[in-house]
Amino acid sequence: MPHSIELDTSRLHLRQWQPEDFAPFANMNADPTVMAHFPATLDRAASDAMASRCQSLIAERGWGLWALEEKSSGNFIGFTGLHIPQADLPFSPCIEIGWRLASTYWGNGYATEAAQKALQTGFDTLGFSEIVSFTALGNQKSRAVMERLDMQQDPHSFEHPAIPECNPLRKHCLYRLTKAQWQEQQH
Ligand SMILES: CC(C)(COP(=O)(O)OP(=O)(O)OC[C@H]1O[C@@H](n2cnc3c(N)ncnc32)[C@H](O)[C@@H]1OP(=O)(O)O)[C@@H](O)C(=O)NCCC(=O)NCCS
């Protein structure tokens, strides 16, 4: 079993999930503002199941959707990290980068800061050749993170197979970043 990778930025600690994270994570997932671009908020059981899944994948692979801790307060503020999507997407197989923060912590640059560290780890430590990100077309805040990371928007949008056909959230945009593009950005 690989050891769990833990990462630091100037303001954040990206770490394995702890039992104390589950309650604040459930509060986030019950917040309609946080979940505005998902089909529904999550109840406590669904939120706990997601946190447990993130925890087991980090334990199994050493990497994943890391819990984010704000260093100045020690508070759990959400997650950012790398994931292999389960859904059969038009560009599968792929490595996805994703983020979800409690709304009180938006507007501080935390998601971008954590994602930059996750990208560095994905390319330099884990050796991935491309990392993608995708979201519902109207999720401007998430798209802004992708753009701040200099990810390139794919010209084709796609229908997310896990979202019902009649739901307007089904239409997604896709952003991609190759290792070569990322290395170029570092110079
Ligand atoms: C997507 C999400 C993580 C983006 O959060 P965010 O706070 O807007 O993004 P960042 O953490 O990168 O912060 C950027 C903002 O902080 C500001 N900022 C303030 N201090 C900053 C600093 N020291 N450094 C950088 N940016 C700073 C930036 O100007 C920017 O503000 P703006 O949105 O007014 O332009 C958040 O909206 C979220 O969790 N949404 C719900 C979950 C979700 O939809 N996830 C994606 C599904 S695919």
pLDDT for 151 equals 98
pLDDT digits over 20-44, tens only?
Answer: 999 999 999 999 999 999 999 999 9
Q: Is 81 left (phi over 0), alpha (psi -120 to 50) or beta?
A: left
Q: Is residue 73 part of a domain?
A: yes
- Average of per-residue pLDDT across 159-184: 96
**What is the domain range of residue 66?**
7-186
- Average of per-residue pLDDT across 67-80: 98
pLDDT for 157 equals 96
pLDDT for 2 equals 73
pLDDT for 1 equals 59
| Ligand 1 center from residue 2 Cα (angstroms) | 31
Q: What token pair was written down for 118?
A: 């996750």
Look at the chain and report how many structural domains it folds into. 1
CATH for 105: 3.40.630.30
Q: Is residue 1 part of a domain?
A: no
Q: Is residue 2 part of a domain?
A: no
CB-ligand 1 contact for 172 (6 Å cutoff)? no
CB-ligand 1 contact for 118 (6 Å cutoff)? no
pLDDT digits over 114-165, tens only?
Answer: 999 999 999 999 999 999 999 999 999 999 999 999 999 999 999 999 999 9
Confidence class for position 179, pLDDT limits 50, 70, 90: very high
SS3 for 80? strand
Closest Cα to atom 48 of ligand 1: 135
- Give this prediction's pTM: 0.97
Residue 69 has pLDDT above 90, yes or no: yes
Which of 12, 14, 77, 100, when mutated, tests ligand 1's pocket best, judged by the most ligand atoms within 8 Å of its CB? Answer: 100
| Ligand 1 center from residue 1 Cα (angstroms) | 34
Q: Are 112 and 137 within 8 A, CB to CB?
A: no
Q: How far apart are CA 156 and CA 143, in angstroms?
A: 15
Q: What token pair was written down for 89?
A: 């997407």
Residue 111 alpha carbon, nearest atom of ligand 1:
11
- Average of per-residue pLDDT across 97-109: 98
Confidence class for position 187, pLDDT limits 50, 70, 90: confident
